[in-house]
Structure 1
Amino acid sequence: MKRIKVLGSGCRNCEITAKVISQAAAEAGIEIELEKVTDIAEIMGYGVMSTPGVVVDGVVVHSGGVPGPELARAWVQG
């Protein structure tokens, strides 16, 4: 099971990012564990300076904007 974290303050773009990832997983029929991380110290620990950030299985794969559906599909399927 993929473990995916959305890093951010809980802003609109962070919420949209989480929704895009959840939808991509549902469409692919893949179960994921999705966590929203709002703790600034934890976000900085990943080296993310611009949110939303996305971490897949411990690796930062995106930061600084809402990812497109194709990118989210690649994360959940990859």
Structure 2
Amino acid sequence: MKSIEIYGTGCQKCEQLYENAKIAISELGLTCDIKKVTDITKIVSAGIVLTPAVAVDGNIQFSGKVPAVEELKILLQEECKS
């Protein structure tokens, strides 16, 4: 099962990224562990400078932008192949 982390402090963009990720996962029929990371210490420790950010299995994929549902679906399809 893939682990998806949404990094952000709870701003509107961070919430939108979380919602987009949930939609992408649902539309692809995937089972993923998705969690929000809001602790600033953990965000900085992950090497994230700009939020929101999304990581799949600990690898930062997007930072400083809100990828569209379609972008996330492409990412998740690629990640699930590996």
Do the two structures share a fold, i.e. TM-score over 0.5?
yes
d(CA) in 1 for partners of 2:7, 2:43 = 6
Q: Is this contact kept in 2: 1:30–1:77, CA < 8 A? A: no
CA distance in 1, matches of 2:17, 2:69: 10
Report deviation, 1:77.
Answer: 2.0
Question: Match for residue 67 of structure 1?
Answer: 67
Superposed CA offset, 1:42-76 (max 9, x none): 00011111100111001011100111122210232
Amino acid at match of 2:50: S
- Whole-angstrom distance in 2 between the partners of 1:14 and 1:24: 15
Unaligned runs of 5+ in 1: none
TM-score with structure 2 setting the length:
0.89
2:13 match? 13
Give the 5 Å matches for 1:1-78.
1-78=1-78
TM-score, length basis structure 1: 0.93
What amino acid is aligned across from residue 58 of structure 2 in structure 1? G
Aligned equivalents of 1:41, 1:4: Cα separation in 2: 18
* Contact in 2 for aligned 1:51/1:64 (Cα 8 Å): yes
Instruction: Give the number of equivalent residue pairs.
Output: 78
